[in-house]
Amino acid sequence: MGTSKFGTSKLILGIETSCDETAAAVVADGNRVISSVVSSQIDLHSKYGGVVPEVASRAHVDLMIPVINEALIQANLDGFPNMGKTVPDAIAVTVGPGLVGSLLVGVSAAKTLAAIWGVPFIPINHLEGHLYAAFLEEPDLIQDFPLVVLLASGGHTALVEMKGHGDYILLGETIDDAAGEAFDKVGRILNLGYPGGPSIDKASMGANPDAIKFPRSLIKEGFDFSFSGLKTSVLNFVKKNPGFSIPDIAASFQEAVVDVLVTKTARAIDQTGAKGLCLAGGVAANSRLREKILDICIEKNVRPFLPSPEMCTDNAAMIAAAGYWRLNEPDESLSIGVDPSMKLVTK
Question: Residues in the site for Zn ion, rule: CB under 5 A?
Answer: 153, 314
How large is the C-alpha radius of gyration of the chain? 20
Please give the order of strands across the beta sheet that includes 147-152.
167-173, 157-164, 147-152, 276-280, 303-305
Amino acid at 344: L
Question: Which one, 90 or 320, has the nearer CB to ligand KG4?
Answer: 320
The gap from C-alpha 329 to its chain's centroid, in whole angstroms, comes to 23
- For residue 307, state whether it binds ligand KG4 (rule: CB under 6 A): no
CA atoms of 270 and 290, how far apart (whole Å): 19
Pick the piece of the chain touching ligand KG4 (CB under 6 A) from 27-35, 260-268, 278-286, 317-325: 278-286
- Stretch 215-274 residues interacting with ligand KG4 (CB under 6 A): none
CA atoms of 248 and 207, how far apart (whole Å): 5
CA atoms of 341 and 60, how far apart (whole Å): 19
- For residue 197, state whether it binds ligand KG4 (rule: CB under 6 A): yes
Mark residues 177-196: x for contact with ligand KG4 by CB under 6 A, - for none.
Answer: ---x--xx----------xx
Question: Which one, 12 or 316, has the nearer CB to Zn ion?
Answer: 316
CA atoms of 312 and 140, how far apart (whole Å): 18
313 binds, among ligand KG4, Zn ion, none (CB under 5 to 8 A by kind): ligand KG4
Least distance to Zn ion from the beta carbon of 104, Å? 17
Amino acid at 250: A
Coil, strand or helix at 106: helix
Under a CB-based contact definition with an 8 Å cutoff, are residues 217 and 230 in contact?
Answer: yes
Under a CB-based contact definition with an 8 Å cutoff, are residues 15 and 94 in contact?
Answer: yes
Mark residues 7-46: x for contact with ligand KG4 by CB under 6 A, - for none.
Answer: ------------x---------------------------
- For residue 285, state whether it binds ligand KG4 (rule: CB under 6 A): yes
Q: How far is CA 317 from CA 135, 157, 246, 259, in A?
A: 10, 21, 36, 30
- Which of 154, 276, 304, 323 binds ligand KG4 (CB under 6 A)? It is 154
Question: Which one, 120 or 195, has the nearer CB to ligand KG4?
Answer: 195
- For residue 313, state whether it binds ligand KG4 (rule: CB under 6 A): yes
Coil, strand or helix at 52: coil
- For residue 129, state whether it binds ligand KG4 (rule: CB under 6 A): no
Question: Which one, 115 or 205, has the nearer CB to ligand KG4?
Answer: 205
Question: Which one, 173 or 314, has the nearer CB to Zn ion?
Answer: 314
CA atoms of 88 and 117, how far apart (whole Å): 9
Least distance to ligand KG4 from the beta carbon of 325, Å? 20
CA atoms of 81 and 83, how far apart (whole Å): 6
- For residue 106, state whether it binds ligand KG4 (rule: CB under 6 A): no
173 binds, among Zn ion, ligand KG4, none (CB under 5 to 8 A by kind): none
Pick the piece of the chain touching ligand KG4 (CB under 6 A) from 69-77, 228-236, 275-283, 339-347: 275-283
Question: Which one, 99 or 297, has the nearer CB to ligand KG4?
Answer: 99
